[in-house]
């Protein structure tokens, strides 16, 4: 008998075909994210799960999945999955690191350029019919990137890819991470290791690339904003809950920091009434870090391979060490 899998959303056609050939596939085509009640009901008898970062796969969901042996998430982040519960049940977890590193680093640079050179703000101005005069020398000015200090918080795959992109812009790059890089890699990347406090105090642009876990929960809060330079920008393409959003809104309103560019939020999606949508010095992206045609296809390939290998009792392409 074919194994049964649940997909909380459809993947690319090539992946769907392959999965449908191998398994009995239950696809959720309704509201995203799949409502919890429905998830609990549908997951009860499946062997495998394909999920996305917005699906909360908590202890209750895992406990209700009697036959589940493999979770394959279409993401590098796995903070939406209860790892302890998975460990207890010996459920293996596949994820998609590396293939999305460049796309996410590209978006990070796009956000830095956008917020510092006020591109989206200018776009809004034109669309609102408010570009009525040619700007004078002091009107509508942004900030140069060259000569600025980019502070990278978390120098893993994406953090390093951002550092590589910063050099051609003439930026000075400092970083703080749990584990310090080797001297050789620091020299190759042209980055300098600093303590957390120094990173916060010295960065003109603070870019977050740590994973979301209990030790990074709202680590960027009012204390941090007060330590930052008044002209500094915060960039977040990691996870929303790493930043205390209420404190961020206050810091932006009071001009404690100059601006922010965000791809991720405490709770997604955010609506048009969210306070961040009311601010000119903020660039908002709808969680599109990995969202390029090429990258999304590669992610689908790995998500598929991880599931197939995992259900076949083989080593996955990338698995989370639970
Ligand atoms: P990674 O290679 O695991 O890098 C994470 C880095 O953060 C590692 O160097 C890690 O240090 C460091 N770190 C972990 N906890 C820390 C702490 N408490 N303090 C300081 N440093 C800490 O992960 P990645 O592939 O670069 O991805 C980073 C995150 O980006 C993901 O977890 C995901 O949430 C997010 N992401 C978002 C999007 C998007 O669409 N916006 C796309 C892709 C990824 P160690 O080496 O010591 O563990």
The SS3 of residue 296 is helix
Distance between CA 95 and CA 316 in Å, rounded? 9
Task: Answer yes or no: same fold for 4-99+294-320 and 101-284.
Answer: yes
pLDDT(263) > 80: yes
Mean pLDDT over 23-35 rounds to 96
Other Cβ atoms less than 10 A from the Cβ of 64: the count is: 14
Instruction: Determine the distance separating the centroid of ligand 1 and the alpha carbon of 213, expressed in angstroms.
Output: 10
Summarised one tens digit per residue, pLDDT across range 104-118 is: 999 999 999 999 999
| Contact indicator for 203, 82 with CB cutoff of 8 Å | no
Percent of the chain with pLDDT over 70: 100
Residue 157 vs residues 76, 103, 210: alpha-carbon distances, Å: 11, 11, 10
Query: Which residue numbers are catalytic?
Result: 239, 268, 287
Q: Which residue's C-alpha comes closest to atom 1 of ligand 1?
A: 156
Mean pLDDT over 271-285 rounds to 97
pLDDT, residue 132, reads 84
Residue position matching structure tokens 């495998």: 48
Rg of the chain over CA atoms, in angstroms?
Answer: 21
Of the candidate CATH numbers 2.40.50.140, 3.40.1350.10, 3.40.50.720, 1.20.1250.20, the domain formed by 101-284 belongs to: 3.40.50.720
Instruction: Determine the distance separating the centroid of ligand 1 and the alpha carbon of 101, expressed in angstroms.
Output: 10
pLDDT(24) > 90: yes
| Contact indicator for 74, 311 with CB cutoff of 8 Å | no
Percent of the chain with pLDDT over 90: 97
Residue 62 vs residues 3, 34, 80, 145, 171: alpha-carbon distances, Å: 18, 15, 12, 46, 45
Query: Counting atoms of ligand 1 from 1, which one is nearest the CA of 101?
Result: 25
Mean pLDDT over 282-298 rounds to 98
pLDDT, residue 74, reads 98
Tell me phi and psi for residue 221, to 5 degrees: -130, -165
Mean pLDDT over 156-178 rounds to 98
CATH number of the domain at 4-99+294-320, please?
3.40.50.720
Output the DSSP codes for 217-260.
TT-BSHHHHHHS-TT-EEEE-S-GGGB-HHHHHHHHHTTSSSEE
Summarised one tens digit per residue, pLDDT across range 83-107 is: 999 999 999 999 999 999 999 999 9
Residue 189 pLDDT level (bands cut at 50, 70, 90): very high
pLDDT(30) > 90: yes
pLDDT, residue 321, reads 85
Tell me phi and psi for residue 97, to 5 degrees: -70, 175
Instruction: Determine the distance separating the centroid of ligand 1 and the alpha carbon of 289, expressed in angstroms.
Output: 13
Mean pLDDT over 39-49 rounds to 98
pLDDT(135) > 90: no
CB contact set of 169 (below 8 Å; sequence gap of 6+): 145, 146
pLDDT(322) > 80: no
Residue 33 pLDDT level (bands cut at 50, 70, 90): very high
Delimit the domains of the chain by residue range: 4-99+294-320, 101-284
Instruction: Determine the distance separating the centroid of ligand 1 and the alpha carbon of 18, expressed in angstroms.
Output: 31
Q: Which residue's C-alpha comes closest to atom 4 of ligand 1?
A: 156
pLDDT, residue 136, reads 84
pLDDT, residue 133, reads 79
Residue position matching structure tokens 């190759």: 188
pLDDT, residue 208, reads 99
| Contact indicator for 61, 268 with CB cutoff of 8 Å | no
The SS3 of residue 136 is coil
Mean pLDDT over 138-167 rounds to 97
Query: Counting atoms of ligand 1 from 1, which one is nearest the CA of 179?
Result: 47
Query: Counting atoms of ligand 1 from 1, which one is nearest the CA of 159?
Result: 26
Distance between CA 48 and CA 192 in Å, rounded? 43
Q: Which residue's C-alpha comes closest to atom 3 of ligand 1?
A: 156
Q: Please list every protein residue whose CB sits less than 6 Å from any atom of ligand 1.
A: 76-77, 97, 100-101, 104, 154-159, 177-179, 209-212, 215-216, 237-239, 263-264, 287, 289-290
pLDDT(152) > 90: yes
Walk across the sheet containing 92-94 and list its strands.
24-27, 4-7, 48-51, 70-73, 92-94
Instruction: Determine the distance separating the centroid of ligand 1 and the alpha carbon of 210, expressed in angstroms.
Output: 3
Mean pLDDT over 312-321 rounds to 96
Mean pLDDT over 29-55 rounds to 97
Tell me phi and psi for residue 273, to 5 degrees: -90, 0
Mean pLDDT of the chain: 97
């Amino acid at each position: 008998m074919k194994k049964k899998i649940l997909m909380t959303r459809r993947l690319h056609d090539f992946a769907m075909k392959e999965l449908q050939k191998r398994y009995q596939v239950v696809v959720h085509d309704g509201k995203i994210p799949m409502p919890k009640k429905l998830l609990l009901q549908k997951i009860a008898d499946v062997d495998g799960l394909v999920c996305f970062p917005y699906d909360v796969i908590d202890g209750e969901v895992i406990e209700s999945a009697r036959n589940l042996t493999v979770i394959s998430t279409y993401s590098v982040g796995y903070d939406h999955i209860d790892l302890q519960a998975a460990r207890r049940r010996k459920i293996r977890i596949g994820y998609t690191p590396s293939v999305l590193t460049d796309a996410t680093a590209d978006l990070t640079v796009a956000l830095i350029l956008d917020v510092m050179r006020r591109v989206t703000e200018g776009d809004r101005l034109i669309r609102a019919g408010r570009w009525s005069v040619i700007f004078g020398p002091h009107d509508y000015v942004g900030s140069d990137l060259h000569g600025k200090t980019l502070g990278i918080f978390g120098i893993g795959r994406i953090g390093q890819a951002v550092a590589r992109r910063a050099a051609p812009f003439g930026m000075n790059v400092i970083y703080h991470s749990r584990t310090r890089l080797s001297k050789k890699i620091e020299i190759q990347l042209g980055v300098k290791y600093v303590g957390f406090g120094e990173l916060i105090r010295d960065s003109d642009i603070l870019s977050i690339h740590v994973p979301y876990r209990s030790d990074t929960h709202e680590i960027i809060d009012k204390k941090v904003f007060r330590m930052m330079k008044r002209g500094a920008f915060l960039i977040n393409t990691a996870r929303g809950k790493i930043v205390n959003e209420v404190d961020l809104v206050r810091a932006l309103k009071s001009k404690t920091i100059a601006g922010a560019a965000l791809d991720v939020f405490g709770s997604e999606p955010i609506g048009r009434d969210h306070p961040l949508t009311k601010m000119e010095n903020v660039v908002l992206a709808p969680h599109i870090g990995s969202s390029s045609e090429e990258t999304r296809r590669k992610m689908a390939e790995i998500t598929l391979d991880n599931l197939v290998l995992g259900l076949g009792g083989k080593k996955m392409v990338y698995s989370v060490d639970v």
